[in-house]
């Protein structure tokens, strides 16, 4: 019995590490939106974390987010630790509402409402975090003069918040059909573990 439990935990750990690595690779496949600042780029690295969060647990999704960001930080040489922290926070704000609602109510409706909730939480949460923490940390880290409240406000309203709404929408539109297609296979694999 104990060997089966250890085997199941090892399988889950391997899957999470694999999803974290895939997520890190997807982070490099990014693109800016033409009407937003160039440093705001959409990528699909939250998709593997969402899969982990829905198949296993919200904590598993956070583990994949953590692995992705740690691998990215190591690979890029720690040149932008603030951006990595911001990416982790954005991913967490997005996937936690999705996975909590999905695990509570199970089904496509709860998935879609969770994705909508996660998008709103991520957009508003990252706006607040950028205004109070991330933008000031960037200016300090880069050795620049502190941003005025008006500049921070303009950055949040005109760039960061719309970007996160669009990012959540794009990821949601990609994720729903992917998850519906993969769900039977993932459930089967999870039960076999």
In sign, the C-alpha dihedral spanning 129, 23, 102, 181 is positive
Residue with the larger pLDDT of the pair 193 and 38: 38
Choose the weakest-confidence range: 114-123, 137-146, 149-158, 173-182.
137-146
pLDDT score at 123: 98
189 falls in which pLDDT band (50, 70, 90)? low
**pLDDT for the residue numbered 193:** 45
- Give 130: exposed, middle or buried? Use CB within 10 Å, 0-12, 13-18, 19+: buried
pLDDT band, very low/low/confident/very high, at 2 (cuts 50, 70, 90): low
Residue 4 scores a pLDDT above 70: no
What structural domains does the chain harbor? Answer: 2-27+43-192 (1.10.1760.20)
CA distance 155 to 147: 10
pTM for this entry = 0.90
Q: Where are the alpha helices (DSSP H) in the chain?
A: 2-28, 46-55, 58-76, 81-105, 108-129, 135-141, 149-155, 161-192
For residue 31, list its beta bridge partners: 42
Is the predicted pLDDT of residue 188 greater than 80, yes or no?
A: no
């Amino acid at each position: 019995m104990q060997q089966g439990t250890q085997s199941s935990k090892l399988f889950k750990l391997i899957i999470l590490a694999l999803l974290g690595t895939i997520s890190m690779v997807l982070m490099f496949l990014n693109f800016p939106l033409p009407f937003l600042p160039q440093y705001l780029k959409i990528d699909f690295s939250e998709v593997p974390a969402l899969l982990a969060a829905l198949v296993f647990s919200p904590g598993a999704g956070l583990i994949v987010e953590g692995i992705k960001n740690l691998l990215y930080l190591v690979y890029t040489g720690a040149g932008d630790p603030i951006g990595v922290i911001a990416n982790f926070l954005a991913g967490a704000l997005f996937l936690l509402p999705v996975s909590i609602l999905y695990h509570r109510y199970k089904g496509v409706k709860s998935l879609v409402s969770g994705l909508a909730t996660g998008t709103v939480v991520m957009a508003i949460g990252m706006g607040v975090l950028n205004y109070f923490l991330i933008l000031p940390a960037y200016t300090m880290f880069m050795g620049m003069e502190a941003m005025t409240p008006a500049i921070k406000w303009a950055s949040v309203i005109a760039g960061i918040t719309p970007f996160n709404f669009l990012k959540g929408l794009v990821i949601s539109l990609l994720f729903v059909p992917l998850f519906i297609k993969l769900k039977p296979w993932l459930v089967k694999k999870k039960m076999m573990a």
